[in-house]
Amino acid sequence: MKNLLSLLVVAVLLTNCQTENQHSNVVTSDIQNFWEAYDKIQTTQDSVLQYAYLDSLYFQRGTLGLEGIRQARNYTPQAYIDAINNYPKFWNSVRNNTLKADSYRDEIQKGLEKVKQLYPDLKPNKIYFTIGALRTGGTYLDSLALIGSEMAFADEHTVATEFPVAIQKGRQTYFNQNPIDDVVFLAIQEFVHTQQKPFVHNLLSYCLHEGVGDFVAYTALDLKPNLPAITYGKQHKAVKEKFETEMFYINNQNKWLWSDAPNEFGVRDLGYYIGYQICENYYKQAEDKKEAIKTMIELDYENESQIEAFVEKTAFFSASLEALHQAFEARRPYVTGIDQFKNNSDAVSTDIKQITVTFSRPLNGYNTGVDYGDLGENAFPKNDINGRYWSQDHASWTIPVDLEPNKTYQLYITNNFRTQDDIPLKPYLIEFKTKDE
């Protein structure tokens, strides 16, 4: 019996390996597994049984892609169960579309072969068509290209009426764009992302990273860009002008990428246009097109000089990145001083019970940020977080403090403070020493 069980385990593992290796780069088995779990979950209101079916029929039988998309989007079992129970009309309306995934295999494989012609160093990673919990149509994790089929295969007939009011309009707009028509492009784009180096956390890096994925996919598939953000950006130079003033902001990523956050243009994800257009400009002026694609895919986002040289060569922006950064710095608000004492004083009285920071102009009266300095937590004064407050005109901010004698203190006022239009404050280190009383 023991030997028989061992043989059965090996057989299961071999079956899983065969599933993951089918048609080389494209794996779709998670979709059928999900619907089997979905149907069983629908037979009971017992939450324990629902979780058990989800685990045994979906998670335990899942591919590396299912593990990857759960990690990339923090999909918990509860997120799946909630989505299944709350949106039955949505699931019923998208089900048949997701089951068409196999029909896209050959076209995706041909697309990948075209990418390899453009970029011979292409690594043989995989594309996983899986089912998520409604937070992405496509993403990637390391070497895994991940398609959230419940979103990627939606079309104008997909039902959005069950979603919360706050996101219902955005979902309906997305569905009406018939994302199913762009499934092949999406798969190729996410595959390209698995070939790239990681981006760093600034807006230009995000946009370039996405732009490379879009440009290489569109070029390989010989498609004219149809992403609304790219179409709009090409027609409205104000998009580039606005980006030039905001690219160094640290808090406005949602305005430009991956979000339905409002902006003055009424079009989401305009950062995709920025990245795409930079890549298109670079490609057009390059004599060696393959070398241009190689340069794009292999950009090192941690190498500032390399990124700057790449962007400058495209002549996309109206001025150099250095000049645009200097203009940004000139617009930033700054700390003008402290009401209770002069910064860097070495004889501050312990009778002082609050520190008021004044700014060069009014801020938004909402966002704040205070942190430890280089001396760490021990040098940060004791304070009551509930006692912090803004002045009526938002031109100063006060924090209560409880000071000890003969001690050096530091408070780091961060750039999370910002103006009404999101221009971040120049950081400011407050450092002082109290008297020996």
Encode 137-157: b = buried (16+ Cβ within 10 Å), e = exposed: bbbbbeebbbbbbbbbbbeee
Give the count of beta carbons closer than 10 Å to the beta carbon of residue 307: 19
140 Rama sector, left if φ>0, alpha if ψ -120 to 50, beta otherwise: beta
pLDDT computed for residue 261 by the predictor: 84
pLDDT computed for residue 259 by the predictor: 87
pLDDT tens-place string over residues 283-309:
999 999 999 999 999 999 999 999 999
Q: Which of 427, 417, 410 is nearest to 329 (CA)?
A: 427
pLDDT computed for residue 283 by the predictor: 98
Share of the chain above pLDDT 90, in %: 89
pLDDT tens-place string over residues 198-246:
999 999 999 999 999 999 999 999 999 999 999 999 999 999 999 999 9
What ranges in 99-164 are assigned the alpha helix state H?
105-118, 149-152
Q: What is the mean pLDDT of residues 169-173?
A: 91
Q: What is the pTM of this model?
A: 0.86
Q: Is the pLDDT of residue 8 over 90?
A: no
CATH of 335-433, one of 1.10.3720.10, 1.20.120.330, 2.60.40.1220, 3.40.350.10: 2.60.40.1220
Please report, for the chain, the start and end positions of each structural domain, with discontinuous segments joined by +: 17-195, 197-331, 335-433
pLDDT computed for residue 336 by the predictor: 98
Confidence category of residue 18, pLDDT binned at 50, 70, 90: very low
pLDDT computed for residue 10 by the predictor: 39
Confidence category of residue 13, pLDDT binned at 50, 70, 90: very low
> What is the distance of C-alpha 117 from the center of its chain?
29
Q: Is the pLDDT of residue 3 over 90?
A: no
Q: Is 257 exposed, middle or buried (0-12, 13-18, 19+ CB in 10 A)?
A: buried
CB 138 within 8 A of CB 74: no
pLDDT tens-place string over residues 96-142:
999 999 999 999 999 999 999 999 999 999 999 999 999 999 999 99
Task: List the structure tokens of 184.
Answer: 């092949």
CB 221 within 8 A of CB 111: yes
Confidence category of residue 190, pLDDT binned at 50, 70, 90: very high
Q: Is the dihedral of CA 201, 204, 207, 208 positive or negative?
A: negative
Q: What is the mean pLDDT of residues 339-349?
A: 96
Torsion, CA 27, CA 123, CA 184, CA 291, rounded to 10: 180
